[in-house]
Chains A and B, each alone.
Chain A
Amino acid sequence: MSGQALLRRLALVPVTLFGVALVVFVLLRIIPGDPILLMAGPGASAADLQSLRESFGLDKSIPLQFLLWLRDLFHGDLGRSISFRGDVVQVVVERMPPTLELVFIALMLAMTFGGALALLGSYFRGGKVEWIVDGIIALFQSVPDFLLALLLILLCTVVFSLLPGSGRIDPALQVDFKTQFYIFESLFTGRFDVLGGLLAHIALPSLALALPFASMIARVLKASLGDAEKQDYTAMARSRGYHESRILMVESLPNALIPAASLTGIQLTFLLAGTVLVERIFGYPGIGNLAMDAVSSRDLPLLQGIILAFAVLFVAVNLLSDLIVVALNPRLRNG
């Protein structure tokens, strides 16, 4: 992607976000089930319901509600959550850091495992090892993350009691964190006693997210390593007598990384989306778990905020991955 194309992408970001806002709004207005009725409880009178409805702005016409909502959106005001009775932006921002930590660790694990699998399969191309690597890739691509989460709990928590299967931190632990980024904070403040417990808690959910993603990375990277293998520069390096491992790491890998990085960026959104169920299953207090709460309590303002937050993350991740691809590919740098 050249510089100009990148600018065009940037210009389209507001259009996409407006589209998301519009779709979210329309979608959530046609959900059956009255959130006000749920909130007020069975004993509420008609007048109570009416005043509640007015206080949440739900008595106005739908187009007017959208315009008002859009105006507030520009002021960073997404309304008040019905079930949490607090500011939506505040609730979402508070729950975002745990999810970001989870996604970050899952991404690191996925890149490590995926890269290792692809290199292993490519180095032993044509042999039994490649066959096994292909099998692992095919298998983990077919295991949905929520199922992997359950099977990991069964294996690592129930059968072998190795790792905790729920929560983010040992509830008995009294730690005063200043930020919501527990892992980063304990890392930088040198609280390694706390860090161990935090990592143990995050291990299973991040593995559940990482393994299917790792197999995707491995498949793409292995295919592009295979393409690089057929190029003239590899033949050149081989004719110079370089060792196969050097050819793989120094000649093929830098070129093969480009398509893999590009696809990782696109597919990262699926990893983000996977947090919805995985966080639910592990009782991990992130934004995905919050989303499920918002669905079951029909908390429309909160749900809008969460979906918008996801959309902003998705768009940001896609832009970032485009930038990384430009940085990795020297041919695109002066575009």
Chain B
Amino acid sequence: MADITGANWFARRPRLVALPRFRLRLNARAAIGGSFVLLVCASALLARWLAPHPPLDQDLMNALVPPFWLDGGDISFPLGTDDLGRDILSRILYGARITMTIALLSAIVACIVGSMVGLVAGFYGGVVDQIVSRMIDTWVAFPPVLLAIVLSAMLGAGITSVVIAIAVVDWTRFARIIRAEAQVQAQMDYVAASHILGLRRAAIMMLEVLPNIMPLIVTLLTVEMGIAAVVESVLSFAGETVAGDYPTWGSMIAAGRGTIHHGWWLLVFPSVCLIATVLSFNLLGDGLRRLIDPVHR
């Protein structure tokens, strides 16, 4: 009922504030996923202080030490050492830097490129849409993993080339979905109303349609970060190294493959970290979708 006198103003106001908090409480997925992602980010940032050893320090006397709870384990190497005596825990903490940097950067680049292309194609339609659709068709016909490997082989080592490789392969994930959504939005009454108000089409697209698609974009972005983390480790694993000597989860997994018969911990710990990170990004994305999508509220 309309509140004409304003008598209920104070009574209503707290509810407006409390509503988002209530929804967040409902959403355990977003909370669990989000906090683990924050934890990984924090350990990446604080690796210098958290890591018990420098990640590149070799100690051949202490090669292939098992995790501390096993026979022969040593508490100063909590998760054991690799075949060159480097501390696994320290390498995982430092490796989180590369993984998270690449996951965040490449997902954001792919998101901006893909969303803008999809938005323009879906909103304007016509020839632009035809061209974009053919490009998406072409891109989707490539095996994504192979394309990323070929691209990063082509661009050479380094974080920038991996970011470019992932963005070039994955922009279609955004473009496809945003294009479809922009097509739906372009038919809505508020767009027609903005036309009548005399807004220019570009302004309607950026100021009216984009904010309405933003929640979808954020959800896709979160999931893409998990995908990018996997692609980064795939590339490191395939030998298209990211940073030479610098530890990455992918290169640790690749090394773990070599010691699979006599040092399982080399493979298992970085794998578990990667899986947990991807799972967290997925949970966060899923939770955000449920928060945003009115059907799930």
Residues of A at the B interface (CB closer than 8 Å) are 12, 15-17, 19-20, 23, 27-28, 30-32, 138-139, 141-144, 146-147, 150-151, 153-154, 158-159, 269-270, 272-274, 276-277, 280-281, 288, 291-292, 295-296, 303, 306-307, 310-311, 314-315
Residues of B at the A interface (CB closer than 8 Å) are 134-135, 137-138, 140-147, 149-151, 153-154, 156, 226, 230, 233-234, 237-239, 253, 256-257, 260-261, 264, 267-268, 271, 274-275, 278-279, 282-283, 286
- In the assembled complex, which residues on chain A have CB atoms less than 8 Å from the CB atom of B149? 276, 292, 295
**Alpha-carbon distance between A311 and B230 when the two chains are bound, in angstroms:** 23
A147 contacts B151, CB within 8 Å? no
What is the minimal beta-carbon distance from B153 to any residue of chain A, in angstroms?
A: 6
Q: Using CB atoms, name the residue of chain A closest to B278.
A: A142
A273 contacts B278, CB within 8 Å? no
B154 contacts A32, CB within 8 Å? yes
* A-B contact sample (12 more), CB < 8 A, given A16-B138, A276-B143, A277-B145: A17-B141, A19-B134, A28-B150, A31-B150, A142-B279, A144-B274, A147-B253, A151-B268, A277-B234, A277-B237, A310-B142, A311-B142
**Alpha-carbon distance between A272 and B143 when the two chains are bound, in angstroms:** 8
Q: Is the interface of A mostly helix, strand, loop or mixed?
A: helix
What is the minimal beta-carbon distance from A206 to any residue of chain B, in angstroms?
A: 17
**Alpha-carbon distance between A15 and B135 when the two chains are bound, in angstroms:** 10
Most buried by B among A30, A272, A310: A310
A150 contacts B271, CB within 8 Å? yes
A142 contacts B146, CB within 8 Å? no
Among the listed B143, B264, B282, which residue makes an inter-chain contact with A307, where contact means beta carbons less than 8 Å apart?
Answer: B143
A154 contacts B264, CB within 8 Å? yes
**Alpha-carbon distance between A153 and B144 when the two chains are bound, in angstroms:** 24
**Alpha-carbon distance between A296 and B239 when the two chains are bound, in angstroms:** 9
**Alpha-carbon distance between A120 and B61 when the two chains are bound, in angstroms:** 53
- In the assembled complex, which residues on chain B have CB atoms less than 8 Å from the CB atom of A144? 230, 233-234, 274, 278
**Alpha-carbon distance between A310 and B145 when the two chains are bound, in angstroms:** 12
Q: Using CB atoms, name the residue of chain A closest to B239.
A: A296
A16 contacts B234, CB within 8 Å? no
B143 contacts A146, CB within 8 Å? no
- Number of residue pairs spanning A and B whose beta carbons lie under 8 angstroms apart: 122
A274 contacts B151, CB within 8 Å? no
Among the listed B137, B256, B279, which residue makes an inter-chain contact with A16, where contact means beta carbons less than 8 Å apart?
Answer: B137
- In the assembled complex, which residues on chain B have CB atoms less than 8 Å from the CB atom of A147? 233, 253, 271, 274-275
B135 contacts A19, CB within 8 Å? yes
Q: Using CB atoms, name the residue of chain B closest to A308.
A: B141
Among the listed A28, A269, A280, A288, which residue makes an inter-chain contact with B140, where contact means beta carbons less than 8 Å apart?
Answer: A269
With A23-B138, A31-B154 known as contacts, the answer to whether A150 contacts B256 (CB < 8 A) is yes
B137 contacts A146, CB within 8 Å? no
**Alpha-carbon distance between A22 and B245 when the two chains are bound, in angstroms:** 36
A27 contacts B151, CB within 8 Å? yes
- In the assembled complex, which residues on chain A have CB atoms less than 8 Å from the CB atom of B154? 27, 30-32
With A277-B145, A277-B238 known as contacts, the answer to whether A142 contacts B140 (CB < 8 A) is no
With A31-B154, A142-B278, A144-B234 known as contacts, the answer to whether A15 contacts B141 (CB < 8 A) is no
Among the listed A20, A139, A276, which residue makes an inter-chain contact with B145, where contact means beta carbons less than 8 Å apart?
Answer: A276
What is the minimal beta-carbon distance from A21 to any residue of chain B, in angstroms?
A: 9
B146 contacts A273, CB within 8 Å? yes
B279 contacts A139, CB within 8 Å? yes
What is the minimal beta-carbon distance from B252 to any residue of chain A, in angstroms?
A: 12
- In the assembled complex, which residues on chain A have CB atoms less than 8 Å from the CB atom of B134? 12, 15-16, 19
- In the assembled complex, which residues on chain A have CB atoms less than 8 Å from the CB atom of B271? 147, 150-151
